[in-house]
Structure 1
Amino acid sequence: MADQIVAARGRSKIPKVTATRRPWAISAQLQAAPLALVFIVFFVIPLGIIVLVSFLDYNDYAILPTLTTRSYTETFEGCIDQLPDVCTILKTYATTAQFCFAVWLLTLIIGFTISYFLAFHIRSTTTQIVLGLLCTIPFWTSNVIRMISWIPLLGRNGLINQILMGAHIISTPIEWLLFSDFSVMLAFVHLFTFFMVVPILNSMLRIDRSLLEAAFDAGASGWQTLWHIVVPLTKPGIVIGSIFVVTIVMGDFITFGVMGGQQIASAGKIIETRLNALQFPPAAANAVILLAVTLVVISLLTRLVDIRKEL
C-alpha cells in the first residue's frame, strides 16, 4: 500500500514555480526615475564633460580637439625637481588642508556644544524648534553680504579697533584682524557652523535618555557619560557635518578672496585664476584633482561610521 502511494506521488505533476515581478518593485523604480534623471543630467553629464575637457589640448586663445595629459603634467611640473622642497601647487593644497582642519575643528566644537545644549538642556520641544530656527536666520541673506558685514568690525578703522583704542587697551590699530588667516577662518566658522549643528543635533535627539540615566545610576560622571555614550552615538552626525564643512571649504574661493584680501592662495583660487585666464583645460584638470582629493577625505570619514544608518 505504501509503495502504491509513493508511485502515485511520483506520477503526479509538480507545478512549476515561475518568478513573478513584484508590482511594488516597478513602482519604486518609477518613483526613483525622476531623481535619477535629474542626477544624471545635472551631475553625471557635467562631471563627464569636465573630465573630458581636462584631457584636451589648448593654446592662448582656443581649446584644441586633441587628447593629452598636458594640463595634469603642467600642474605638477617641477614638483619632482624641487624635492625635498614642496612646489607651489602642493603648498597651495597644503594651505587649503590646514584651513579645512582648523575650520572643521572649530565648527565641530561649537556645533557639538550648541547641539548638546539644545538636545539635553532644553526640555521643551517647542523651545528646541524655535532656537533651531533662530540658527537659520543668517541663511536668509547672501553669504557674500554676511562676509562683508565683518569688514566694518575688523578693519583698521573698524569698530573693534576704535573700541580698543578708545579704552586705551592698544595704541595702534590691530592689522591682523582683517585680510588675514584669522578673518578667513572667522568667516568660515560663521558661515558653516550651522552645517555641523543640524546633523549632530539630529543624532543627539535620537539618543535614548534611559541610557544616560543608566550611566548616572552606575556612577558615571558627566564627562564619562559624554565620552562613552553621547559621542559614540553622535558619530554619524559628526561625520555628516564634517563632510559638509570639508567639501565646502575645499572648493571655496570667494571667502578666501573677500576675507583674505586676495592674498591667500587656495585650491579653489587656482581654478578661478585659470578660468579668468580662459584656460579651461587646466581649470578642469585642477577641478578633477580637487574632486579626487575631496573624495579621498570623504572615503576616510565614511570608514569611521556607516552614515547610511543615519540617513
Structure 2
Amino acid sequence: MALFNHTADGAMDAAPPTAEQLADERSGERASWWQTGPLVAVLLLFFGLPMLVVLAVSFFDFSRTEIIPAFIFDNYIDLFRSQVTLRLYLSSLKFAAIVWLVTLVLGFNIAYFLVFHVRSLLWQIGLFLVCTVPFLTSNIIRMISWIPFLGRNGIFNQALEGAGITSQPLEFLLFSDFAVIVAYVHLFTLFMVVPIFNSMARIDKSLLEAARDAGAGRFRTVAEIVLPLSKTGIALGSIFVITLVMGDSFVVRTMSGGQSASVVSALQNEVAALQYPPAAASAVIMVIIVTLMVAGILRLVDVRKELAR
C-alpha cells in the first residue's frame, strides 16, 4: 500500500502543466529572445559578417597588385607546409601556456588571500581596488615601463651588481622570451584574479570551518573544497588570458626586441605587404585554434550550469 501511495504521489507530481503554465513559459521564452536579440544582432553584424568575409578572402588568389576572386586552397596548403608558420604557432602556444600557468597560480593565491584571509569587507574592496590601479594607465605604458627596469643597465641589474649577487648584467632579462612572459603576466593577471575572486566569494565559509573541524589540513581543504568550487572562475579567467595572449603581437614584438614572433605579428606583416588572402587564411586557422581551446575549457567546466547555481 505504501508503494502504491508513493507511486500515486509521484504521478501527481508529474502531472502535465496547465494551459496557463504553458502560456507563461512561452511568454518567458519570447521575453528572453527579445532581451538577447540586440546582442545577437550586434554579434552577427560586427563579428559574424566580417568573419564570413575573411573566410571568403582566404580562398582567393592574389598578385602583387590585386586580389583575384577564386576558390583555391593554395593559401592553406602553403600555410601548413611552411616550417616558419609552424614555429610561429608553436611560439604563440608556448607563450599562452606559460602565461596561463603563471597567471593561474598568482590569480588563485591572490583571490584566496582576499576572500579567506581578509576578514573585513572594506579591506577586501580596498585591496581589490589596489589590484586594479595599474589598469588606470595604458597597456603600452605599463609594458614599456619594464624596459628601464630589466635593461642591461636597468634598476634590477644594478641592484644585483650592487648586492654582489652578479658580477655583470644579466642579458636574458630584456629582449627575450622571459621579458615577453613578464610583460604578459603583468598585463593579464587581473583577468585571472577577478573571475576567481567572484567564484571564491560565493563559497560558504562554514564549509572550510567544517573541514578544519574534521581534521583536514589547509592543502586538503583547498584541493577538495576551494578548488572545485572555484572552477568556474578558473575557466573564465583561463579563457580571458589565453585569448588575449593568442591575439596579441605588440608585446612579443616590443619585449623580445624582434628576436621572437607570433602568428598575429606575421599576419600583420602580410597585411602590410597587401597579401590579404594568406593573412585571411592564417586568421581563420588562428580563430579555429582559439575556438577549440575555449571549447575544451568549456567542456571541462560547464560554466553556464555553475553560474546558475
SS of 2:230 mapped into structure 1: helix
Deviations 1:247-291 (A, max 9, x none): 111121111001011210212122112112111111111011011
Partner of 1:297: 293
Counterparts of 1:262-301 in structure 2, within 5 Å, are 262-301=258-297
Q: Which amino acid aligns with 1:259?
A: M
SS of 1:193 mapped into structure 2: helix
Counterparts of 1:112-127 in structure 2, within 5 Å, are 112-127=108-123
Partner of 1:202: 198
Partner of 1:68: 72
Paired residue for 1:242, among 238, 243, 247? Answer: 238
Q: Does 1:190 align with 2:194?
A: no
Partner of 1:100: 96
Partner of 2:126: 130
Decide whether the 8 Å contact of 1:180 with 1:259 is kept in 2: yes
- Residues 137 and 154 (structure 1), Cα distance of their counterparts in 2 relative to 1, 3 Å cut: same
SS of 1:179 mapped into structure 2: coil
Deviations 1:189-212 (A, max 9, x none): 000000000111111011111211
Return the alpha-carbon distance in structure 2 between the equivalents of residues 296 and 90 of structure 1. Answer: 17
Q: Does 1:254 align with 2:233?
A: no
Partner of 2:6: none
SS of 1:265 mapped into structure 2: coil
Return the alpha-carbon distance in structure 2 between the equivalents of residues 20 and 192 of structure 1. Answer: 47
* Number of residue pairs matched by the alignment: 287
Paired residue for 2:32, among 4, 25, 28? Answer: 28
Return the alpha-carbon distance in structure 2 between the equivalents of residues 209 and 171 of structure 1. Answer: 50
Q: Which runs of 5+ in 1 are unaligned?
A: 1-16, 79-86
Larger fraction in helix: 2
Q: TM-score, normalised by structure 1?
A: 0.88
Deviation at 1:229, TM superposition (A): 0.6
Return the alpha-carbon distance in structure 2 between the equivalents of residues 175 and 119 of structure 1. Answer: 39
Name the % identity: 50
Partner of 2:58: 54
SS of 2:175 mapped into structure 1: coil
Return the alpha-carbon distance in structure 1 between the equivalents of residues 125 and 134 of structure 2. Answer: 16
Q: Does 1:155 align with 2:151?
A: yes
Q: Which has the larger radius of gyration?
A: 1
Q: Which amino acid aligns with 1:121?
A: H
Q: Which amino acid aligns with 2:197?
A: L
Q: Which amino acid aligns with 2:30?
A: I
Q: Which amino acid aligns with 1:189?
A: V
Q: Does 1:215 align with 2:219?
A: no
Return the alpha-carbon distance in structure 2 between the equivalents of residues 198 and 279 of structure 1. Answer: 39
Runs of 4 or more consecutive aligned structure 1 residues displaced over 6 Å after TM superposition: none
Q: Which amino acid aligns with 2:62?
A: Y
Q: TM-score, normalised by structure 2?
A: 0.88
Deviation at 1:23, TM superposition (A): 4.1
Deviation at 1:185, TM superposition (A): 0.4
Q: Which amino acid aligns with 1:208?
A: D
Decide whether the 8 Å contact of 1:110 with 1:193 is kept in 2: yes
Return the alpha-carbon distance in structure 2 between the equivalents of residues 220 and 167 of structure 1. Answer: 43
Return the alpha-carbon distance in structure 2 between the equivalents of residues 66 and 204 of structure 1. Answer: 53
